[in-house]
Amino acid sequence: MLAPKCARSTRPITPAENDYDGRSHSPVSNRCLSFPGIVIGHRLISPGDEDALLPEEAPAFASSVVKVRRASGSARIVARQLLKRLGQPECALPRTSGGAPAWPPGVVGSLAHDSRVAVAAIGLGCDVGAVGIDVEPAESLPPELLDLVATPQERLRIGDDPYQGRLLFVAKEAVYKAVYPLDQTFLDHHDVQISFAERKAVVRNGRVVGLRFCIAAHLVALAFLPGLR
């Protein structure tokens, strides 16, 4: 299969600012997550979404409960819509042995879901080097998990997080999804240092990852690396 041409989407993708005050009554505010070259979408998980799993995708979820199949199908509905926006054919996105979807050549992307919402972020490899996305309910992180998620430096700034570490958790999950395909290294939460003020993360190997995030009915973080030009 030939890698797709590096053609820009016909729909404008504009950067947007965001901070802890950037709230929305929508389940997910895609505007807050925007970055040039990345298209983002979300969908409320609905009964029947499990039927969206294509024959190439379904076997990986054969032993999963319907809730998991439904959420995975919903995320792939979003992803195929985004592929179409980028001028790419809608195709199967089978789950790899590592759990991430297998993207077509020349495409980078990431899927995520919680119990209610599925999200996806996709870009062309000539525009974006790596993408990761994650979503969680807009609820506080259980206090007993905070030490597992936050580094000592991050604990000093946790008062700025109205969800007491949940947004930090989401951001680190997104970073891991972005860098794992490149580094093939498993990371602990303390291997990633987050700065929401600078909108970036630093991984233990020195890799610097860009961040965007939104606070709405759900917390979503987008992690990315620029493409090589």
Q: How many domains does the chain have?
A: 1
Residue 2 lies in a domain: no
Which range among 14-18, 150-154, 180-184 shows the weakest confidence by mean pLDDT? 14-18
> What pLDDT was estimated at residue 35?
87
Domain that holds residue 68: 30-226
Residue 23 lies in a domain: no
> What pLDDT was estimated at residue 216?
87
Residue 21 lies in a domain: no
Kindly state the tokens that stand for 152: 């000592």
pLDDT at residue 154 is higher than 50? yes
Residue 140 lies in a domain: yes
Residue carrying structure tokens 């959420």: 71
Residue 20 lies in a domain: no
Residue range 136-157: mean pLDDT, rounded: 94
Residue 66 lies in a domain: yes
* 160-197 pLDDT, tens digit each: 778 989 999 999 999 999 999 999 899 999 999 999 99
pLDDT at residue 5 is higher than 60? no
pLDDT at residue 22 is higher than 50? no
* 90-141 pLDDT, tens digit each: 999 999 988 899 999 999 999 999 999 999 999 999 999 999 999 999 999 9
Percent of the chain as helix, strand, coil, to the nearest 5: 30, 25, 45
Which CATH number does the domain housing residue 209 bear?
Answer: 3.90.470.20
> What pLDDT was estimated at residue 160?
73
Residue 188 lies in a domain: yes
With residue 193 as reference, give the H or E element that holds it: strand 192-195
How far is it, in rounded angstroms, from Cα 158 to Cα 168?
A: 9
* 211-221 pLDDT, tens digit each: 999 988 899 99
| Residue 170 near residue 221 (C-beta atoms within 8 A) | yes
Between 2 and 205, the higher pLDDT residue? 205
pLDDT band of residue 70 (cuts 50, 70, 90) is: very high
Residue range 132-159: mean pLDDT, rounded: 93
| Residue 94 near residue 111 (C-beta atoms within 8 A) | no
The DSSP secondary-structure symbol of 4 reads P
Quick check: helix, strand or coil at residue 115?
coil
Between 58 and 16, the higher pLDDT residue? 58
* 74-90 pLDDT, tens digit each: 999 999 999 999 999 99
> What pLDDT was estimated at residue 152?
95
pLDDT at residue 158 is higher than 50? yes
> What pLDDT was estimated at residue 45?
97
Residue 132's Cα: distance from chain center in Å?
Answer: 4
Residue 19 lies in a domain: no
